Amino acid sequence: MSNGNYFNEKSTTRFDFGVYRNATAKKAGSNMLTISTRPYEGQQYSVGTTTISMSIREAKTLQSFLNASLTSDIVHND
């Protein structure tokens, strides 16, 4: 039987992603998404680490924005 908790992490060379959910908790911060930079020696994009935390509701808004933006027919050659 599940206790209602969910935890998942994914890492890339540059970032760590984490989703933490507790279906029974109503406290702020108990259901969140985190995105953290990973320090990589010799590279300019990450010195130390920085973490962004957001609620699951905010993460769903970000997901909607990314889905709409990344699946559009507009092609940018940046």
Asked if residue 24 is part of any domain, the answer here is: yes
Q: How far is the first Cα of the chain from the last one, in angstroms, to the nearest whole number?
A: 49
Is 77 domain-assigned? Answer: no
- Count structural domains, the chain: 1
Strands 5-11 and 51-55: unpaired
32 in any annotated domain: yes
Q: Is there a domain that residue 10 lies in?
A: yes
* Structure confidence by residue, pLDDT tens digits, 13-39: 889 999 998 877 677 667 999 999 888
Range of the domain at 22: 5-70
pTM summary value: 0.71
Q: Is residue 78 part of a domain?
A: no
Starting at the edge strand that comes first in sequence, how are the strands of the sheet with 51-55 ordered? 5-11, 15-22, 32-37, 51-55
Tens digit of each residue's pLDDT (9 = 90 or more) over 32-69: 999 998 887 666 665 678 899 999 999 999 999 999 98
